[in-house]
Every structure is written in structure tokens, then in C-alpha cells.
Amino acid sequence: MGELRQYRMPAIVLGRGATALGILRSLHIAGIPAYVACPADDLTTHSRWFHPTPGSPPWDGSLGSRGYEALRDIPLEHAVLIPGADDAALWLTGLPQSDLGARFSLSTSSRETQEILQDKARFSAHLDTLGIPKPRTYRIDTIADIEAIPLESLDRVFIKPVNSQQFSEVTGVKGVWVKRREDLRENWQRLHAQGFTLMAQEYVPGTPADHFFVDGFRDRDGVLTGLFARQRIRISPPDFGNSSYCRSIPLAQVQAPIEYMTALLASLQYRGIFSAEFKRDARDGVFRILEVNTRAWTYVEFAARCGVNVCEMAYQDALGLPVTRSPTSYPIGAGCVDLYRDLSTVRAQSSAARGPMLTILGQWASAHFHSFRLDDPRPGLRFAGQVISQQLKRRL
């Protein structure tokens, strides 16, 4: 992103795990001093660049009234907040109107905009108004809604939540397959009883490599100052998992998704970091939008290392500074691997599905590693130690 700047105003990363670690490292790349609000045992605390928020005790990332109290107690005159989770991004939309708005800045959209993009039912309805291709989706509020779903005319179907973050935290999965209407009724009743609002969605057929991501930043003037495109190559776990290996691709390869995202973000007057997932439908080749993250995503550091540092852009935008525009000629074919999960994926695949092992070894050898870095090795080593410890416990 050009020559390194040295900023004086600190940023506070609000998140945990690999996403918070990626934000922290992206800020370091830009020369921005940063603190992290996260639990004391979080992976991010092992980074050489980790600093807890000043004050005693440090802010652990709690939201709601506890979050406001923690912010009031932080002895900083001014700081920029950067969220790394859906609930944090939504919570922060109320900060500018609070008594803390003068002390803490952020680049954010309205709560209404955040809710439309985070609530999968409202998101689907809004896409319909814009004519943006998406999977066929049916909100389920009652048993009668299930009876009205044309299951016979759909491909594979699964149940997904309106609020994906809460659902994943409670159930450990992103969706549940259903084959028959009876399965749909049974699963809906079980999950609805746990308080979830649910939808039935047609699964878009295709391989992991049919998933494409358009990541970037839209500033306060509505300018797309950064765009970065990725293609998923492998996924873990299958179907409803996350990328275990992905690579950068030219923006020209995803022109239709970029046009869809430009229209979508403009319609909502969106401001801030975003990451949108599309899947190319194997039946007709149409790119169908699956979801949009309204905050820094898990592979945000990968984008920064390729020259598209959206965390720096969010910092600049929050402070009213000119926002650096990233080049469109970032490295193509650069890979990023979550090695632990990719090992599991590769082991589970047949040789025909995964391709030559030499090719995969070459991908790993040249890739950016998800958590491990030679200049910041402790988070990756900490994660590896936890995995080994868990495996030993299972064997014992």
C-alpha cells in the first residue's frame, strides 16, 4: 500500500481468534498502534504486537452496558474502533450517538443497514428488490410456511438461521440438511424451540472452487477504495465450512459479483469494511450471492499482505483522513492456507478429487499461513500446541 505511514492515534481491535489477530497484524503493517479488547486467554494475546486496552482491568471485549463502562474507563483521549465480529459491528452503530462518540471514532453504516445485511431473511428480501441473483430462500415462521415450500422443485435443501453467528456458537454448525418435508418439520421445531428464527434454502450446486469472494472497503463518500478477489479451492468441513485454502484472483474474473456488490452497497449507503461470498451455480454459471460480512473477515490479513489493507482504510475513514486507494494489480495466484483444517480436508478427499499431492505440497510451500508467521510465530505455535494436547487427551 505504498510507503509505510506512522500514525499516532491508536486503534482498538474488538474481536477474538484468528480474525482479531488478522486485524492486529494488518494495523501493524500500516504502522498503526493498536490495542485489542479480547478475553485473557485468546489466541491474539500471544502475538508480539498484542497490547491489552489500557486501564485496569483491560476490556475483555464484552458488549452492551459492560462495553460502554469499559470504554468510559479507558484512559485514552481518542481512539479508533475496528470490529471483528457481527455482534460487535452491530453494537458499535450506536456509539457515535452516545456520550462516547467524541472520544471513539469508527467507520460504520447505520444500524438499519447493518441489520439488513446481517439478518438473512431481510437480506434475501432486499436482494429481490435489486434483482441480484441468490439461492431460492424461504423464511419459516410457522408450520404453514413449511407446507408452502415447493420442495419437489428444489435441488438439495438445508435449514439455516437468520442470525448465523448465534446459531454457529450454539450448535457448532452453519446449517442442517433436510431431505424430506418431515425432516424439515422436525428440525425446524427442534431449532425453533431453542429460539432460532430459521429459513430453508436451496443449496447451490458446485464444487468448493465455485465459491468466490469480493472483499473491500467503501468510504464515507461512497467510493470503493479497495477491492480484493479470492477463490476458494478447498473447504473444511464440507458444504457448510470455511475456506481451508484459497487464492487471489483478478478482479476481471468476478466482474458480475463486483457489479452486484456495487449496486447492493450503494442501495444501502453502506460505509466500511465488507466481504461478500458468491457461488457460481453449476447449472447455469450464474454467480449467486450467499452472504455479506459487515466487518473484518477471517482472511483480512491475507488481503493486507497482498496490498489491500482495509483495516488501514477503516482507520483513515473513521478519522476523516483521505482514504488510501489500493492498487488493482495485486499479486495473482497468491495462496493462503489454514494448514490444520486443510490437512483434514486433503486426507478426507480421494486422489481424484484433490489432485496430485505434489501440487498441494507446492501450494502449502508458497502460501501465506493463516495464523503462523515467522516474524510473529507464537500464535501459530500456541494453536499447534492446543491441537496436539487435544489429540493426546483423546488417545488417553
Q: What is the pLDDT of residues 38-66, one digit of tens each?
A: 999 999 999 999 999 999 999 999 999 99
Provide the grid cell at 374: 515467522
Class assignment of domain 136-202? alpha beta
Tell me which of 25-29, 141-145, 261-265 is least confident. Answer: 141-145
Quote the pLDDT of residue 4: 54
As a whole number of angstroms, the distance between CA 382 and CA 360 comes to 25
pLDDT of 3 over the 70 cut = no
- pLDDT interval class at 104 (50, 70, 90): very high
DSSP string covering 149-183: S-GGGSSSEEEEESSHHHHHHHHS-S-EEE-SHHH
Residue ranges covered by each domain of the chain? 11-109, 136-202
Domain 11-109: give its CATH code: 3.40.50
Q: Which helix (H) or strand (E) holds 86?
A: helix 86-92
Judge if pTM exceeds 0.75. Answer: yes
Quote the pLDDT of residue 173: 80
| Residue in this structure with the C-alpha cell 437480506, named with its chain if needed | 123
> What order of strands is seen across the sheet that includes strand 272-280?
287-293, 272-280, 211-218, 224-236, 242-249, 335-337, 368-369
User: How much of the chain exceeds pLDDT 70, in percent?
Assistant: 98
Q: What is the mean pLDDT of residues 186-210?
A: 93
User: 265-274 pLDDT, tens per residue?
Assistant: 999 999 999 9
Collapsing DSSP to helix, strand or coil, 190 comes out as: helix
Q: How many CB atoms lie within 10 A of CB 365?
A: 9
